[in-house]
Amino acid sequence: MEFIIKDIEGNEHGPADQDTLKKWIDEDRVTGDTPIRNSLLGKWKTVAELDFVEENLSQQVKRLEETTSQSQKALDSVSSIKSIFKKAKKEKTSFAYQHAPEAANTSSRIWAFVFDLVFLAVVLFLPLFAIASYYAYSDAGVNTDNSVSALSQQYVLAPPEEKEVSVPDAVPAAKNVSAPPVAVPHKVKTVVVTPTADKKQIAVVEEAAPALAAEKPASAEIVKPVKKKPVLDNLTAESPPCTRACESAGYIQGALWVDIKGGKTYICLDGTENEARWIQTVTLKKIYTVTAVIALCLVMIYYGVTLGYFAQTFGMWFWGIFITKNDISEVYLYRAFLFAVLMMLLGIVAPLFVYIFGRAPHDLLSGVRVINVVGKTQI
């Protein structure tokens, strides 16, 4: 019986009889996984499926295992020799090898917070509250009744009296004020006669005229004081205000209108003639309360995202500090958010804690350290 074998590249070899096949196994040219078929059949199988080569394959396996173990031992000995001459590798940290972490001081933390506060005021608070004010102004314009042609006489306040407001600066002295001419003083001569035995001796004495009274300063120009209209309120109205409740009726911006029948209080946002805008104080408080809550949420998002992704806010980046875990590893979103929440609650006492303990209370509770970007030099 003769066989055909196929190598790893797919080339066929043979036909070979049983003795030739055993010889190829002993020479390691054929293994148990080598494809083989009877020269008269087309079905392929592996050499390991043939019974007459079982002993040859078992000897081949032992031979290959010994060779492999010897090769592995040689490789291990080479690796051990290399390790003798290899320098020990220092463990890498977030800093250069010659630096160690240094805690941020109180002043840098405070100035970083002030920087963030100014940044948020310009970028977030001012635009957000400007939008809220515009919304309140628009709401007042829509909801203020403009169907009344004339305001009822009972709601027309007395024309507001103008009161004088003291001028803080002193009135400067007037210039170029003409004064009446003053007579030039003259000397008076007095003759005194003293008799003697021989002759009369005449002495002349000069006396100066009495000093003139000090001139009065010229009166300064009279400056009229600034006059300001007072804010007048209508606290006994029996209906809501309308657009006619304006300046000509005695209402200006900031005036209050109390509807005692409806139980509602209004405030004037604009007293323009016949186009006054009034809004309920409850609505105005609600608008600004919602705005404050939104602003607080955005502040938390700002701190959570910047600290979670970059380990520092813009203020901390400017002052060269950032946050890490206690083991100087990366801080993720959850810990950064917890740090921000605790900072809002306990930030008022943070400077005292940092001064005494070197860490703020929200640092300790959230497991965070605030350190300088560049560590201190190791000794």
Summarize pLDDT for 227-244 with one digit per residue, the tens.
Answer: 567 788 999 898 999 999
Question: Quick check: is 109 in a domain?
Answer: yes
Residues 365 and 318 grouped into a single domain: yes
Residues 335 and 308 grouped into a single domain: yes
> Between residues 182 and 19, which one has the greater pLDDT?
19
Average of per-residue pLDDT across 339-358: 85
> Between residues 83 and 235, which one has the greater pLDDT?
235
Give the model's confidence band at 287: pLDDT under 50 very low, under 70 low, under 90 confident, else very high. Answer: very high
Give the total number of structural domains in the chain. Answer: 3
Give the model's confidence band at 374: pLDDT under 50 very low, under 70 low, under 90 confident, else very high. Answer: confident
What pLDDT, on the 0 to 100 scale, is given for residue 177?
Answer: 46
Which residue do the tokens 């810990």 mark? 335
Question: Quick check: is 297 in a domain?
Answer: yes
Would you say residue 205 has pLDDT above 80?
Answer: no
Question: Quick check: is 265 in a domain?
Answer: yes
> Between residues 203 and 146, which one has the greater pLDDT?
146
- For residue 19, the domain's CATH number is 3.30.1490
Residues 362 and 269 grouped into a single domain: no
Residues 296 and 367 grouped into a single domain: yes
Residues 62 and 119 grouped into a single domain: no
Would you say residue 178 has pLDDT above 60?
Answer: no
Residues 154 and 268 grouped into a single domain: yes
What pLDDT, on the 0 to 100 scale, is given for residue 2?
Answer: 77
Residues 362 and 310 grouped into a single domain: yes
Give the model's confidence band at 129: pLDDT under 50 very low, under 70 low, under 90 confident, else very high. Answer: very high
Report the C-alpha gap between 371 and 102 in whole angstroms: 5
Return the HEC string of 119-156.
HHHHHHHHHHHHHHHHHHHHHHHHHCECCCCCCCHHHC
Residues 63 and 149 grouped into a single domain: no
- Candidates 168, 162, 164; CA nearest to 225 is 164
- Domain with 63, as residue range(s), is 3-76
Tokens found for residue 129: 């509250």
Residue that is last in its domain, among 248, 275, 302: 275
Question: Quick check: is 183 in a domain?
Answer: no
Residues 61 and 109 grouped into a single domain: no
**DSSP assignment, residue 131?**
H
